[in-house]
């Protein structure tokens, strides 16, 4: 089978997977009360008409103590399709998902309380503001994971049962055992104590004349507004959240002639990226090591050794491609679990990302739960995971032609 045909088959398999995920979210959303679903679809009711999503409303005077029929509620009920049979509701829901009509951020939610600029905005618009932050964080975490796990796993395999191998396995076990929130708290505490002890807990930095505490230097996506002229964020950084023109904060800082700000934004991503990468280091490191050990026992590798090639050439050249097949698959699974740690990491480090607004959207304190944000973020991250798995399948098919030929791999 040609690679192009294999690619087409994998892409076509995306559709039932996505429809399945959308159907699961439909079942979960259907369990919510109808007023809550209407709020997620059309936004919070007007304060002057709080009964808009209620089947009844107070009757006109002098019978205001009684409840009367509310025609507005039934108008929205019929407009949203929630009064239709379940199959029709499902079809309407799927249609809204694929046309990106995902509802609005509730004015009374915790998300709107924390970020007032998001109140009443479409969910897709808010996600487009916060998603670039998450993409940068995930990309940096994935880079750290690859830079550490690949060479260390191969090194452990090449020096099996030696001190370097024992150290790699100890690091792997630590990655499994150490909770993400605990590692993040340790990094923040160590940074604050070390930097604060040397420069003063309220010391000034070269790029912030007004001075920032060490907590402010490690938490948040941007420096304080006091670090900018007139104590205001520049015009390309709207309300300290939305950056222009690309939406990616680090890239936009460099494009707008503020390299110091780009470096500052990148440095703020390092600790949370390390936290997320370390949570997946144990799994990937073990698979890289075991995959390399398995390949090193094959005939062609022994032939390479007998031909006089050094162990470094054998490990880094002859075993690398064949040992990567399983590693790429595991990496795709790790990419999916990355998003499970995002709410913890972004909430802990106060980063403006999808994980942060999901964590805020699930909180009832300070505002209310925002089901539109939770559902929209779930769908967005699901689409990204599905695409990542397709890319992983393509890479595996390129590395091992037996995959696209339909042969069974002995892994």
Closest CA to 265 of 217, 233, 229: 217
Residue 212: predicted pLDDT = 62
Per DSSP, the residues of 137-163 read HHHHHHHHHHHHHHHHHHHHHHTTTSH
Cα–Cα distance measured from residue 316 to residue 306, given in angstroms and rounded to the nearest whole number: 16
Average confidence (pLDDT) over 341-347 = 86
User: Vertex 57, ends 56 and 60: CA angle to 5°?
Assistant: 135
Position 366 pLDDT exceeds 70 = no
What are the CA-CA distances from residue 287 to residues 53, 64, 151, 323, 330 (Å)? 53, 69, 12, 9, 8
- Tokens 């709020």 belong to which residue? 39
- Quick check: 262 and 253 in contact, CB under 8 A? yes
Position 332 pLDDT exceeds 60 = yes
pLDDT digits (tens, 9 = 90+) for 175-185: 778 887 788 88
- Quick check: 345 and 355 in contact, CB under 8 A? yes
Beta carbons within 10 angstroms of residue 350's beta carbon = 16
Residue 365: predicted pLDDT = 61
Position 210 pLDDT exceeds 60 = no
Residues 6+ apart with CB under 8 A from 133: 221, 249, 351, 352, 353, 354
Average confidence (pLDDT) over 306-323 = 75
**Which parts of 31-109 fold into alpha helices (H)?**
34-42, 71-80, 86-98
pTM of the model: 0.82
- Quick check: 109 and 368 in contact, CB under 8 A? yes
How many CA atoms does the CB half-sphere of 48 hold within 13 Å? 0
- Quick check: 277 and 141 in contact, CB under 8 A? yes
Cα–Cα distance measured from residue 145 to residue 147, given in angstroms and rounded to the nearest whole number: 6
Q: Domains of the chain (ranges plus CATH)?
A: 123-361 (1.10.3720)
Position 95 pLDDT exceeds 70 = yes
Residue 42: predicted pLDDT = 76
103-125 per-residue burial string, b: 16 or more CB within 10 A, e: under 16: bbbbbbbbbbbebeebbebbbbe
pLDDT digits (tens, 9 = 90+) for 103-158: 888 877 888 888 888 888 899 999 999 999 999 999 999 899 889 988 888 888 88
211: pLDDT confidence band, cut at 50, 70 and 90? low
């Amino acid at each position: 089978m040609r690679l192009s045909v294999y690619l087409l088959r994998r892409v076509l398999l995306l559709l039932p997977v996505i429809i399945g995920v959308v159907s699961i979210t439909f079942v979960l959303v259907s369990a919510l009360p109808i007023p809550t679903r209407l709020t997620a679809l059309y936004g919070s009711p007007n304060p002057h008409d709080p009964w808009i999503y209620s089947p009844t409303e107070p009757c006109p005077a002098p019978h205001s103590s009684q409840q009367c029929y509310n025609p507005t509620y039934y108008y929205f009920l019929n407009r949203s399709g929630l009064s239709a049979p379940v199959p029709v509701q499902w079809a309407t829901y799927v249609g809204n998902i694929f046309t990106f009509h995902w509802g609005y951020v509730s004015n009374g939610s915790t998300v709107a309380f924390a970020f007032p600029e998001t109140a009443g905005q479409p969910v897709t618009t808010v996600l487009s503001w916060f998603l670039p932050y998450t993409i940068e964080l995930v990309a940096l975490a994935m880079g750290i994971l690859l830079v550490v796990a690949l060479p260390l796993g191969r090194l452990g395999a090449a020096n099996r049962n030696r001190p370097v191998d024992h150290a790699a396995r100890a690091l792997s076990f630590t990655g499994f055992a150490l909770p993400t929130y605990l590692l993040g708290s340790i990094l923040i505490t160590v940074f604050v104590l070390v930097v604060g002890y040397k420069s003063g807990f309220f010391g000034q930095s070269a790029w912030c004349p007004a001075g920032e505490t060490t907590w402010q230097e490690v938490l948040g996506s941007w420096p304080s507004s006091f670090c900018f002229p007139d104590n205001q964020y520049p015009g390309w950084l709207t309300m300290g959240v939305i950056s222009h023109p690309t939406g990616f904060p680090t890239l936009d800082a460099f494009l707008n002639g503020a390299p110091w700000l780009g470096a500052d934004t990148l440095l703020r991503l390092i600790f949370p990226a390390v936290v997320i990468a370390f949570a997946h280091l144990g799994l990937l490191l073990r698979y890289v090591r075991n995959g390399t050990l398995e390949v090193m026992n094959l005939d062609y590798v022994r032939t390479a050794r007998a031909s006089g090639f050094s162990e470094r050439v054998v490990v880094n050249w002859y075993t690398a491609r064949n040992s990567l097949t399983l590693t790429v698959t595991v990496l795709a699974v790790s990419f999916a679990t990355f998003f499970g740690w995002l709410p913890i990491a972004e909430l802990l480090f106060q980063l403006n990302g999808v994980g942060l607004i999901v964590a805020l959207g699930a909180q009832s304190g300070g505002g209310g739960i925002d089901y539109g944000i939770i559902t929209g973020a779930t769908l967005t991250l699901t689409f990204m995971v599905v695409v990542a798995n397709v890319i992983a399948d393509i890479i595996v098919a390129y590395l091992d032609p037996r995959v696209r030929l339909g042969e069974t791999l002995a892994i």
